Amino acid sequence: VGSHVPSRVLTNHDLERIVATTHEWIVTRTGMRERRIAAAHEATSDLAVAAGRRALEAAGVQPADLDMIIVATITPDYPFPNTACLVQRQLGADRAFCMGLEAACSGFLYGMETARCYIAAGMAQTALVIGAEKMSAVLDWTDRSTCVLFGDGAGAAVLRPAPAGRRGIISSVFGSDGTLSELLMIPAGGSRRPATAETVAAREHCLRMRGREVFRHAVTHMAEAAVAALHKAGLSIADIRWVIPHQANLRIIAAIGERLRCPASRFIVNVEKYGNTSAASIGLALDEAVRDGRIVDGDLVLMVAFGAGFTWGATVMEWTG
Q: For residues 89-148, which are near ligand ACO according to CB under 6 A?
A: 104-105, 144-145, 148
Report the distance separating Cα 84 and Cα 277, nearest Å: 18
Name the active-site residue from 4, 85, 98, 105. 105
Which stretch in 1-9, 21-29, 44-52, 152-160 sits in contact with ligand ACO by CB under 6 A?
21-29
Q: Does position 307 bind ligand ACO by CB under 6 A?
A: yes
In the residue annotation, 82 being an active-site residue is answered as no
**CB nearer to ligand ACO: pick between 59 and 149:** 149
- Classify burial at 47, counting beta carbons within 10 Å of its beta carbon; exposed 0-12, middle 13-18, buried 19 or more: buried
**CB nearer to ligand ACO: pick between 73 and 88:** 73
**CB nearer to ligand ACO: pick between 102 and 318:** 102
Q: For residues 196-255, which are near ligand ACO according to CB under 6 A?
A: 211-212, 214-215, 218, 248-249, 252
In the residue annotation, 217 being an active-site residue is answered as no
**CB nearer to ligand ACO: pick between 97 and 215:** 215
Write down the least CB distance from residue 131 to ligand ACO, Å.
Answer: 11
Write down the least CB distance from residue 211 to ligand ACO, Å.
Answer: 3
Q: Give the type of residue at 5.
A: V
In the residue annotation, 246 being an active-site residue is answered as yes
Q: Does position 157 bind ligand ACO by CB under 6 A?
A: no
Which sequence positions are flagged as catalytic?
105, 246, 276
Q: Residues in the site for ligand ACO, rule: CB under 6 A?
A: 21, 25-26, 29-30, 104-105, 144-145, 148-149, 184, 211-212, 214-215, 218, 248-249, 252, 276, 278, 307-308
